[in-house]
Amino acid sequence: METKTHWKRLINLDYIGAYSLEDGKDMNVTIEKVVRELVTGNGGKKEECTVAYLVGNKPFIINRTNGKMIQKIVESPFIEDWAGKTITVYATTTKVAGEELECLRVRPSLPKAIDYTEQIAKINACNTIEELKTIWSTVGCPALEQYKNAKKDELSKN
């Protein structure tokens, strides 16, 4: 099956979004830390946001809806308690000012054990470093880091 590229990936946004996920696929991410910081939005407007830094991924801007869900599944309202926790995000849509927009949401439970067979096969099928980078942007997660690094080493020797 051919992998397609969402146009928003090409503008190298600083944060993950709905476009970061393969169609219909969830993505498990591990929170490294959560902070408040200035984020530059479309049009250069700066706004203070809550940002979760993720292990092996771009950061995730936490809105009120996602913050409440993380609090619920982690069973703590304290961002310090969120560090090291793995959550599952998925792409959906929401209405903003009457317009339907893509967004990321957090699943209402901690992720179950995952079968990474498909993701490992995609990594192992890469023939170039560039191809590996493209695949990693869609399947990357801490559990697969060793497979990516092994494939990168193999491709670097060729």
**3, 27, 25: which is closest to 123 by C-alpha?**
3
Q: What is the pLDDT at residue 7? A: 58
Tell whether the model's pLDDT for residue 80 goes beyond 60. yes
Mean pLDDT of 49-63: 92
In this structure, are residues 34 and 94 in contact, taking their beta carbons and an 8 Å threshold?
no
Residue 82 per-residue DSSP state: G
